[in-house]
Chain A
């Protein structure tokens, strides 16, 4: 896809999210549709190098649960974090095995809880499972490797998102040529007031 097409889609997307206000499942679906449009505009769905199509879809969804769309800001799926992770997995067999096992565990575990597979479950079911493995305090012999996997996937999702062209501007406004260095008075005053040093 040309950069312009991509930028247009991103702008449109940002406008949709901003206009919608708080995040709801409907909006999230809308964003997903636009993400797929964006990928389609790029010449089709990303073809994973390392994971199977099912594993890849599961990972993409997992990353988007870790960093979801938010008012005015895209999530991990739009930032194509899963594609970046898949690329790394193709370069490291040990890492790939961790993911293959971890993603399979998500399917098995959710099936045991009465759903189909992870990707087909409701968001409530998915989150109920993640709530188990997203915290060290839930550590048991049975959950140990799932918690370890989720911790790794979360770490890589965060890294992949904030180092992407799409995710980085969420917090970082630099890496550009400035004619002069200035600090906004509102930023300075905010910190001075709150620190008691103003």
Chain B
């Protein structure tokens, strides 16, 4: 290991991680005149790195892989490389482990902007009741803050980034400040009308996309490629909406390719420095700080705390409660696809639109007490036309076989005429779902101990999936959809619930709360035990309502950053 190099300069704020949380803290603090160091475990990128408006033919292998991997073996390893994820469920040299009997997938991005460069852009407010779930049904824990406390920060986030939608007055999904939504696509109209017959209301999707020029950014041009990152900044990513503008202020020092290893504390118990690996050179370095904000993603932030044992914290910094890593949650995921014969032969049109569809079904049974699961889910609607890629028509061709014009006709009848309904439900935290430092001593390529995951869905989540199966079948029936009927849902093994972590809404591992015995952070996401330590990703979440987490990460981080700036002004930290 190379010799650690310590800086002498002490920085006011060091932020670890540059996604929705780190980007928000960076922007809010620099706007308030505070200088920050922003550490990111991946590279710095620029607007020219986003692969917008490219097609498969712009890449010689067109997605089959440089060695035609799509056509040999199991067909894995291919792709166009247009996505802006800079990571995935596996990163070379950075393993994680999963305990026997568990299944878990951990999606990580290593790049300035983190996962915001490519995420789906569903931008949903939590409901008032989401902050007090235990008071409602006796499960999980209540948040130490209320909807009214966070609502002004949802407003601020919506004004900055822009969110599509219309005021609907639905309690499970509060209204906000909206950009005009794009019209529904044909398959979405069918879903909306079929759902309406069942008494289920489907609404214009709420995405972090601007449809009118906003804050100097041009409106969306409807290419449908949000996951590649938007070269015109017409959607939200922390890179181009927060970090690049904040860098203009001269108050941000970005340290890319910096893999945080450990927080160093001083005699008073405060964090005095962050030790990290400069991935470019393999050098061990330290950056000294007055305050530190962890925003490395829920599990990465937990890992960093648990690994910070050198200065007399055998269980990790800020972890006397033992809660760090616990209460790990993801969204319940279940999807169902149907072919819609009514659309076969329809006059074709450019249906790209925004990246993740124009229609959303918010939870509609929030006041029902007679269900066999306590919390709700929403439904995301996918399908319709898409840019063809390698393997797009394999299903149609396998069914049709043959060759020539009849086969081509079968491709046309399949293309664009499928609808996918994706349920995203709330999970109740349980004691069998958590992460810990791998007890067998596995380390990554820099020698940093890795996480081991434990995962178990509860009966409530499985019951929720059964409800999704029934509902989705009914919606498809109402529009003449043809689908494989869901298998008999008897017993846990037969419920086709998602693998934990695979919805990429993993959170809750450094939770906030009023009681230091059962939580790590206070109601401003400041560690109970370490006053100059803050967490600003989804780790502080006390629960995981069905709504996608990014909007609440931004709102909570915004509130935390304002509080931190005020505490600094008062010299409390």
Contact = CB atoms under 8 A, between A and B. Distances in A.
B340 A195 contact: yes
A171 to B, nearest CB: 5
Nearest to A138: B401
B60 interface: yes
Contacts of B60: 87
Given A163-B388, A174-B387, A68 B405 contact: yes
Nearest to A73: B408
Given A67-B408, A184-B349, A197-B194, A175 B53 contact: yes
B190 A178 contact: no
Interface string A142-175: 0000000000101110111011110010011111
A159 B62 contact: yes
Contacts of A164: 57, 62
A173 B348 contact: yes
A158 B349 contact: no
B310 interface: no
Contact of B222 (A130, A172, A181): A181
B387 A183 contact: no
A169 B50 CA distance: 24
Given A168-B388, A173-B348, A190-B346, A162 B393 contact: yes
B224 interface: yes
Contact of B64 (A154, A158, A159): A159
A99 to B, nearest CB: 10
* Interface size class, chain A: 35 or more
Contact of A188 (B186, B223, B393): B186
B346 A187 contact: yes
B412 interface: yes
Contacts of B224: 174
Contacts of B388: 162-163, 168, 171-172
B68 A70 contact: no
Nearest to A88: B68
B68 A92 contact: yes
B453 interface: no
A190 B72 contact: no
Interface centre among B60, B224, B397, by most chain A C-beta atoms within 10 angstroms, is: B397
Nearest to A147: B401
Given A154-B397, A163-B63, A195-B479, A65 B387 contact: no
Nearest to A166: B57
Nearest to A160: B62
A66 B193 CA distance: 39
A168 B70 CA distance: 19
Interface in A56-74: 65-68, 70
B106 to A, nearest CB: 31
B127 to A, nearest CB: 29
A171 B348 contact: yes
Given A172-B385, A197-B193, A158 B401 contact: no
B402 A70 contact: no
A187 to B, nearest CB: 5
Interface in B360-403: 385-394, 397, 401-403
Given A152-B71, A188-B186, A163 B62 contact: yes
Contacts of A130: 403
B66 interface: yes
B403 A187 contact: no
Interface string A174-198: 1111111111101110111011110
Given A91-B67, A162-B388, A186-B347, A171 B415 contact: yes
B419 to A, nearest CB: 11
A153 B185 CA distance: 35
A70 to B, nearest CB: 6
B343 interface: yes
Contacts of B385: 171-174
Contacts of B353: 181
A46 interface: no
B152 interface: no
B225 to A, nearest CB: 8
A183 B480 contact: no
A91 B416 CA distance: 32
A100 B389 CA distance: 26
Contacts of A165: 55, 57
B390 A89 contact: no
Nearest to A195: B342
A163 B62 CA distance: 7
Contacts of A163: 55-57, 62-63, 388-390
Contact of B411 (A87, A171, A186): A171
B183 A181 contact: yes
B62 A84 contact: yes
B441 interface: no
B350 A66 contact: no
Nearest to B59: A163
Given A135-B401, A163-B57, A195-B479, A190 B71 contact: no
A136 B402 CA distance: 9
A134 interface: yes
B221 interface: yes
Given A66-B403, A178-B222, A184-B347, A155 B394 contact: yes
B345 A190 contact: yes
A190 B343 CA distance: 7
Interface centre among B60, B61, B401, B479, by most chain A C-beta atoms within 10 angstroms, is: B401
Interface string B159-194: 000000000000000000000001111110110011
Interface string B458-484: 000000000000000000001110000
B71 A156 contact: yes
Interface centre among B71, B221, B393, B411, by most chain A C-beta atoms within 10 angstroms, is: B71
B185 A183 contact: yes
A76 to B, nearest CB: 10
Contacts of B404: 65-68
Contact of B221 (A65, A67, A177, A187): A177
Interface of A: 23, 65-68, 70, 84, 87-89, 91-92, 94-95, 130, 134-136, 152, 154-156, 158-160, 162-165, 168, 171-184, 186-188, 190-192, 194-197
Interface of B: 53, 55-57, 60-64, 66-68, 70-72, 182-187, 189-190, 193-194, 221-225, 340-343, 345-354, 385-394, 397, 401-405, 407-408, 411-412, 415-416, 478-480
19 contacts: A67-B408, A92-B68, A130-B403, A134-B403, A154-B403, A154-B407, A155-B397, A162-B392, A162-B393, A163-B63, A164-B57, A165-B55, A168-B57, A171-B412, A177-B223, A178-B222, A183-B349, A190-B343, A190-B346
Given A95-B72, A195-B190, 4 more contacts: A155-B397, A165-B55, A183-B185, A183-B349
Q: Which 4 residue pairs across A and B have the least CB separation, nearest first?
A: A195-B342, A163-B56, A174-B352, A194-B342
